[in-house]
Structure 1
Amino acid sequence: MKLYKSFLCGLILFFSALSYADSSNTNQGSNSGNSKNNEKADHTCDGNWINPITDVCWQCLFPMSIGDTQVSQGSSSLPDTENPSNAIQQCPFPPPIFRRVGIAVGYWEPIAVTDVTRNPMCMVNLGGQKIGGLKRSKVGKATKTAIENTGVFYHTHWYQYPLISWLKLFSDDLCMQGGDFDIGYLSELDPMWNNDLLSIFVNPEAIIFGNPIAQAACIVDALAAEAYLPLNPLFWCAGGHGSVYPFTGAIRTEASGMNSSVLLSERMNFKLHRQGIITDTVPYNTAVCFSGQNPIVPKDRYRYHLVNPTADANNCYPYGRGVMRWQAGKEMPNSHKNYGHLIWRKRNCVVF
């Protein structure tokens, strides 16, 4: 029996190697005209696991509120959003109870982590591991010479990261995001992320806002995000980072790698809202009992901070706030442009 198993394993390995060699030769022949481009696109995959103690900005949980009364500002001066006016809420409940009375609370919770990378299937926040299985996927680029296009392309991954649930900071499961750490979205598997025309299916309004007048309005949003919070009515703007449209990994002109990584994290956030994957709570009486889908991301209810390549655990920033004030010293000149960000969301809920 042992001899039979050894023979079978050897046979499998032989045919696997033969198949790999054949596919390699085929790819080499079909891509001979692009060999130089492929060499340039062979970026290194690197990154670090997130330490939930030292790499997370715990002061970003604040401000906390009960009703519309702020009970803790924490050690930061981060701005807060609107909260329900009544501290006591009555929420529907299945019979025979029908109604439950609880206390409306508000706080900020970490919900997701994003990878932004030029290397397909490079899991930056999983220690820089690369997942195989795809024969070919579009490789990101970044060119800065005067004679070349200065556009860039990145892949983006979205991880579910319910840190509050792991730590059991609340006894009520309705007041925190549940679940396990999981990969929620891979742009390599989404053909719309690579194609501006295909992305029109999920963001048809991009045609309306792709003009100089609409983009000039983003100056106001950028100033608002720098001073306090972004403006939700200007939903097509990502503050000082640029435009959220189209929902692809392409950026026409890159100001910096950090800026591109934050912009693409915000684009992915908006895209997943549009596709009904992310839910939000609302800061209104009675409605605070529920959460639901929103096709337009409520920008003022999201924050972010850097976790890769260097964790910035002392600060977090509102959606759309520029990177100029914090990006210095966070990236080395020889960086391979692999980034990670922790995404925070405002949660209003009722504790029973």
Structure 2
Amino acid sequence: MRRFLTFLAIVGFILVMRPTPARAESATCHGSFVNPVTDVCWSCLFPLSVGGLKIWKSERPDTKNPDNPICACGSPVPRIGIAIGFWEPSRLVDVTNKPWCFPNLGGVKLDPGFDVGAGHVQGRSQVGGKTQNSSQWQSHLYIYPLLYWLEILTDFLCFEQSSFDIAYVTELDPLWQDSSLTSIINPEVALFTSPVAIAACAADCVQSTRKLPIDELFWCAGCNGEMYPLNGHVAAHVTQVQASRLVAERMLYKMHRQFLAWGTMGSKALCAKYIMPIMRKQQYRLQMTNPTSMTSGRYACAPIGAATIMPKTGKAYPVKGEDFGYLTWRKRNCCML
């Protein structure tokens, strides 16, 4: 609980430093703090498994867990433990059309004094002779180890033991602003521009909505669009919820590609996290926290690429709908020693 109080102190400092209306831009930033009691879908922790056995089931699909309940980690003398699997709230993601807007920090709008990241609004583009909506978004990533803060289980090494922090701000990243520069970290993008590669994403859409995304189709974000480029430009903007979820999913993939996020699922992760430059989409669920928290139902924390037809209803507003926040749930397979 002490760590959570420290987090509140940091938030209070940010509010004090909030720019005055005279300096703030005309576009208002909307958002609210994530209440760990009322704004978190606690049922998203489940299913909970020991080895291949689910001891706390859930209506939500789960990834494959190691079959053997016994594990061993360490050297030269390994320690014996129990292989467990659970879903951990680990990161917060902002997605907004307004640069320097932080929805998950209560709608704080900073004024850095320069225009980096500014001027990105929705527009229209020509694709295949037809006009379609496009949009440009900024995103921010927060380290948010909620289970460790609340000290739900003390001395439980499987929880990420860190403090709240703003880990990434795309307004300061030139690769996020320019798709040509983005190709530096995703040069393979040219391989997945063919009609066949794009059509394959339909299967990923179905599987993501029905159960879990297809990791082999790593260039697809299911029903939300394509993973590439790894920036905030959405060429096919259908709805605000769809576009913002796509950007949040790209943000997670970008963190993996830049070795700022690691693999935490499967037998390989029992003893330590591992490098995962091509993100396994099944490792994550996304729960909306802003503008409206989704805390119940099967689609409260849907897998990457799942259809937004059901959960989008009433989740975006005509005025406040351009500022979104998401809580990232990460699958953990861990050897509990």
How high is the TM-score relative to the length of structure 1?
Answer: 0.83
Partner Cα distance (1:211, 1:319) in 2:
22
| Structure 1 segment 1-352 matched on structure 2, within 5 A | 42-73=26-57, 76-93=58-75, 98-137=77-116, 138-143=118-123, 150-284=133-267, 288-314=270-296, 315-352=300-337
Tell me if structure 1 keeps the 8 A contact 2:263–2:269: no
Tell me if structure 1 keeps the 8 A contact 2:83–2:333: yes
Structure 2 letter corresponding to 1:72: W
Partner Cα distance (2:215, 2:113) in 1:
38
Distance 1:338 1:287, change over 3 A: closer
Shift of 1:170: 3.4
Tell me if structure 2 keeps the 8 A contact 1:42–1:119: no
How high is the TM-score relative to the length of structure 2?
Answer: 0.87
1:192 is paired with a residue of what secondary structure? helix
**Structure 1 unaligned runs (5+)?**
1-23, 25-40
Count of matched residue pairs: 307
Identity rate, percent: 39
Distance 1:145 1:282, change over 3 A: closer
Shift of 1:336: 4.7
Shift of 1:155: 0.3
Distance 1:214 1:42, change over 3 A: farther
1:201 is paired with a residue of what secondary structure? coil
Higher helix fraction (1 or 2)? 1
RMSD: 2.0
Structure 1 letter corresponding to 2:243: S
Residues 265-324 of structure 1, C-alpha deviations (whole Å, 9 max, x = no match):
00000000000001122322x752121120011111210111000111112111110111
Shift of 1:149: 6.8
Which structure is larger by alpha-carbon Rg, 1 or 2?
A: 1
Shift of 1:42: 4.6
In structure 1, what is the equivalent of residue 19 of structure 2? none
**Structure 2 unaligned runs (5+)?**
1-22
Partner Cα distance (2:26, 2:236) in 1:
21
Structure 2 letter corresponding to 1:222: C
Structure 1 letter corresponding to 2:309: M
Partner Cα distance (1:210, 1:164) in 2:
41
Partner Cα distance (1:139, 1:47) in 2:
20
Structure 2 letter corresponding to 1:43: A
Partner Cα distance (2:229, 2:269) in 1:
32
Residues 43-71 of structure 1, C-alpha deviations (whole Å, 9 max, x = no match):
22111000000000000000000011100
